[in-house]
Amino acid sequence: MRATLATLLSFVIVASLTACGGDDETPPPVARERQAPPPPPGVEAVDDARLVAAGGEKESWLTYGRTYDEQRYSPLAQIDAENVAQLGLAFSYDTHTTRGLEATPIVVGGVIYTTGSWSIVYAVDAKTGKEIWRYDPQVPGEFGPKACCDVVNRGVAVYKGKVYVGALDGRLIALDAKTGIPAWEKLTVDQSKPYTVTMAPRVVKGKVIIGNGGAELGVRGYVSAYDAESGELVWRFYTVPGDPKQPQENPALDKALPTWTGDVWHQVGGGGTVWDAIAFDPELDLLYVGTGNGSPWSRHIRSPQGGDNLYVCSILALRPDTGELVWHYQTTPADTWDYTSTQHIMLADLEIGGAARKVLMQAPKNGFFYVLDRATGELISAEDYVEVTWATGIDKATGRPIEAPGADYRENSVVVRPSTLGGHNWQPMSFNPELGLVYIPANDIPWAFGVDEDFRHKPGQWNLGVSAKIASEMPRDIVSGRLIAWDPVGQKKVWEVPYPEAWNGGTLATAGGLVFQGTAHGTFAAYDAASGKKLWEMAAGTGVMAGPTSYELDGEQYVAVMAGWGGAFGLAGGDAAASAHELAGKNQNDGRLLVFKLGGTAQIPVTAAIAREVAAIAGDLDPEKVKLGTYAYHTWCWECHGIGGVAGGVLPDLRTSTLFFSDALEPIVFEGSLAAKGMPNLSAWVTKEDLELIRIYITAKRNELAAKQAGGAAPAPSTDAAPAAAGGR
């Protein structure tokens, strides 16, 4: 793979020699009378009519999925299969972050509005990359550990002069689009609970729609609508019932309550968080949201006497004015595998069986591609888009999955596909309506499930109800990914591009007959939309997860994407995530906005890796203590520092961390001395004895690494030695 990257880099240099020349054509006589084309109207002129008609604006990308139907299809065709080989970097903009970047850039009025780690918002000139303003909401570092899946943010919404961002700590903030100065901010969550916000808000009929996450730690899910002008709360829809002894907030929850049993769910929160997908059909006046997994994960603990647990892992159709539930479709009743239905919801009008159907499409984590009638929620079809072992299919009559024998891990632990990371996760899909194909960034990852026999609710900590020890024993070298072109009418794969790594980027489809996608191994690529043939690829400096955007300015088409490795897999993926990061070049994971155009000649600045000698530590490696340390580590540390002690390339790898093997360790763990950087104070949970066992385990893993590297290999870089760049927490 190194040779491949070297080849790519040499291609960049070649591409830089093919810049377009200037336009020296003599202007025709009428040119003096002709006015320069008016600049595309900015955020001040984004209203409901313009959002509904967003598909026609070539110079803009007005909402997260480009259009309310979230198809992510650009009508631009200047860059096509014939000339894409001449694509090069127009400019890059450094976010000064070293954590995951997941935002889809919004483009309007010649300005890119995007976000980075810790919910920082950037306004950048869409032609030059010059910063116009940046806004740091100053999210306190102690909110970092509440985020299951890195301190990421998926972008902003824009409307009538304002830019809206959901901050990790649960604030919804409206900024003046011209200055980046806050107009108002509202707290959308109870900050004493482990809620976080990472999703991009959407503006629908003058209301800002925003949900939240936190179901791994334990919260009750909901989605809210705030008045875009004043910030007042208009409605809130809870997705799971509240205290069963109290009246429920709405009739839909009265119906849901009998589908829950026991009382652990209420104590932990129940889950069903709305943390990503939203779509809107203005004609049907329906707002679609996806809900997350049950909390805790294991249904045997969450709802011991059974029940579907409405409305977890569901697609909900709500009235945008009131939040009233019109219909629901639960993709995974009684979920016990973290099979969220928060993944991309896409709307399209398809001809199926000779009839025009208004459909909703989703490829949720559970591995099935669903096509629903979006007026009624009726199942039209569902087939597996990756290998699925937990169910043998979806019953067309009932719309329910047919669970495979043994997938329920109440009695015996079992390896299941897809994993908790999903056959597909939040990485956006895209749709080419000409070809009728959906482009799915898919994962092939197995997961070992077993019940956590010693489960007790630990407020504010991870509360999965599944055995992390069993998960830690999974072989990690059988992880891969794929780009799949899916025919939603025939419910079949048309082509695929295999990847050696999982967790590749979101996709963009264009009228130029192309599909763009970033990769976990640190490149940005273009494929032929009809055949999947790779037409172009360029090194991106680090792993790319985010969904790309395209826009046109002064007659030139641009393609923009955020590059910054991380997210759930980047943090916890262990060896597999680390190998993707290694392929990406080990460059300290500097975050950037990358913008490409034909003939672009800019270069990505590469930061040299900081390699440090790892001091030899003599540890007490009593095998029994190493074993106990394995359990302690996989109780308190693995979610951020990686399964098996192997970090995914985002947060410090403890094996090579000089801080871990220093006197600073106890103040870090017991006094919160790194709380501002996101490392929680664990004094309420971890004992000195636990920490000593964790130290012994990590010492064993460090020695293992040293043995692997013996023979003159360079010492591994220590990620906690990275310089604290501005904003680079």
Measured over the CA atoms of residue 712, residue 713, residue 716 and residue 722, the dihedral's sign is positive
Dig out the tokens for 1 from the structure: 């793979």
* Nearer of residues 335 and 653 to Ca ion, judged by Cβ: 335
Q: Is 97 in the site for Ca ion (CB under 5 A)?
A: no
* Nearer of residues 280 and 337 to Ca ion, judged by Cβ: 337
* Binding segment (CB under 5 A) for Ca ion, from list 4-12, 330-338, 539-547, 562-570: 330-338
Single out the residue of 338, 383, 501, 552 in contact with Ca ion (rule: CB under 5 A): 338
C-alpha span between 8 and 253 (Å, rounded)? 54
b/e sequence 678-705, b meaning 16+ C-beta within 10 Å: bbbbbeeebeeebbebbbbbbbbbbeeb
* Binding segment (CB under 5 A) for Ca ion, from list 288-296, 604-612, 677-685, 689-697: 288-296
* Binding segment (CB under 5 A) for Ca ion, from list 320-328, 336-344, 381-389, 558-566: 336-344
Is 338 among the residues known to form the active site? yes
C-alpha span between 683 and 296 (Å, rounded)? 23
Dig out the tokens for 215 from the structure: 């179901």
For 659-709, the DSSP string reads TTTSTTHHHHHHH-TTGGGTPPP-TTT--HHHHHHHHHHHHHHHHHHHHHH
* Nearer of residues 117 and 196 to Ca ion, judged by Cβ: 196
State how beta strands 437-444 and 345-352 pair.
Answer: unpaired
Site string for Ca ion, 595-624 (x = CB under 5 A): ------------------------------
C-alpha span between 410 and 393 (Å, rounded)? 21
Q: Is 336 in the site for Ca ion (CB under 5 A)?
A: no
Task: List helix spans (H) across 269-391.
Answer: 299-302
SS (H, E, C) 500-563: CCCCCCCEEEECCCEEEEECCCCEEEEEECCCCCEEEEEECCCCCCCCCEEEEECCEEEEEEEE
Find the shortest distance in angstroms from Cβ 712 to Ca ion: 42
* Nearer of residues 338 and 552 to Ca ion, judged by Cβ: 338
* Binding segment (CB under 5 A) for Ca ion, from list 183-191, 333-341, 486-494, 563-571: 333-341
Q: Is 444 in the site for Ca ion (CB under 5 A)?
A: no
Phi-psi region of 218 (alpha: psi -120 to 50; beta: other; left: phi over 0): left
Q: Is 115 in the site for Ca ion (CB under 5 A)?
A: no
Find the shortest distance in angstroms from Cβ 700 to Ca ion: 30
Find the shortest distance in angstroms from Cβ 331 to Ca ion: 14
* Nearer of residues 292 and 591 to Ca ion, judged by Cβ: 292
Find the shortest distance in angstroms from Cβ 386 to Ca ion: 18
Element (H, E) at 494: strand 492-499
Q: Is 198 in the site for Ca ion (CB under 5 A)?
A: no
Find the shortest distance in angstroms from Cβ 291 to Ca ion: 11
Find the shortest distance in angstroms from Cβ 340 to Ca ion: 5
* Nearer of residues 296 and 441 to Ca ion, judged by Cβ: 296
Q: Radius of gyration (Cα) for the chain, nearest Å?
A: 25
* Nearer of residues 281 and 338 to Ca ion, judged by Cβ: 338
CB 153 within 8 A of CB 38: no
Element (H, E) at 630: helix 623-636
Site for Ca ion in 639-678 (CB under 5 A): none
* Binding segment (CB under 5 A) for Ca ion, from list 40-48, 276-284, 292-300, 597-605: 292-300
DSSP state of 377: -
Q: Is 276 in the site for Ca ion (CB under 5 A)?
A: no
Q: Is 330 in the site for Ca ion (CB under 5 A)?
A: no
Dig out the tokens for 158 from the structure: 């824009």
Q: Is 150 in the site for Ca ion (CB under 5 A)?
A: no
Q: Is 298 in the site for Ca ion (CB under 5 A)?
A: no
Find the shortest distance in angstroms from Cβ 364 to Ca ion: 11
* Binding segment (CB under 5 A) for Ca ion, from list 289-297, 597-605, 685-693, 699-707: 289-297
C-alpha span between 669 and 641 (Å, rounded)? 14
Q: Is 335 in the site for Ca ion (CB under 5 A)?
A: no
Q: Is 273 in the site for Ca ion (CB under 5 A)?
A: no
* Nearer of residues 310 and 561 to Ca ion, judged by Cβ: 310
* Nearer of residues 297 and 329 to Ca ion, judged by Cβ: 297
Find the shortest distance in angstroms from Cβ 460 to Ca ion: 17
Angle between helices 623-636 and 688-709 (to 10 degrees): 110
> CB under 8 Å to 56, separation ≥6 — which residues?
75
Find the shortest distance in angstroms from Cβ 147 to Ca ion: 12
Size of the site for Ca ion (CB under 5 A): 2
Query: At 328, is the secondary structure helix, strand, or coil?
Result: strand
Residues recorded for the chain: 729
DSSP state of 54: G
Find the shortest distance in angstroms from Cβ 509 to Ca ion: 27
* Nearer of residues 568 and 694 to Ca ion, judged by Cβ: 568
C-alpha span between 349 and 513 (Å, rounded)? 20
Find the shortest distance in angstroms from Cβ 273 to Ca ion: 8
* Binding segment (CB under 5 A) for Ca ion, from list 314-322, 331-339, 353-361, 397-405: 331-339
The single residue of 94, 150, 281, 338 carrying the catalytic annotation is 338
Single out the residue of 114, 153, 239, 293 in contact with Ca ion (rule: CB under 5 A): 293
Site for Ca ion in 695-724 (CB under 5 A): none
* Nearer of residues 577 and 654 to Ca ion, judged by Cβ: 577
Find the shortest distance in angstroms from Cβ 568 to Ca ion: 8
Q: Which residue has the tokens 């072109």?
A: 485
C-alpha span between 686 and 196 (Å, rounded)? 23
Find the shortest distance in angstroms from Cβ 370 to Ca ion: 18
* Nearer of residues 110 and 296 to Ca ion, judged by Cβ: 296
DSSP state of 320: T
* Binding segment (CB under 5 A) for Ca ion, from list 16-24, 312-320, 338-346, 391-399: 338-346
Q: How far is CA 315 from CA 63, 86, 427, 656, 669, in A?
A: 20, 42, 18, 43, 40
CB neighbours of residue 387 within 10 Å: 11
Give the neighbor-by-neighbor strand order of the sheet with 556-563: 87-94, 592-598, 556-563, 549-553
CB 342 within 8 A of CB 274: yes
* Binding segment (CB under 5 A) for Ca ion, from list 335-343, 447-455, 487-495, 581-589: 335-343
CB 89 within 8 A of CB 540: no
* Nearer of residues 293 and 463 to Ca ion, judged by Cβ: 293
Binding site for Ca ion (CB under 5 A): 293, 338
Q: Give the active site residues.
A: 338
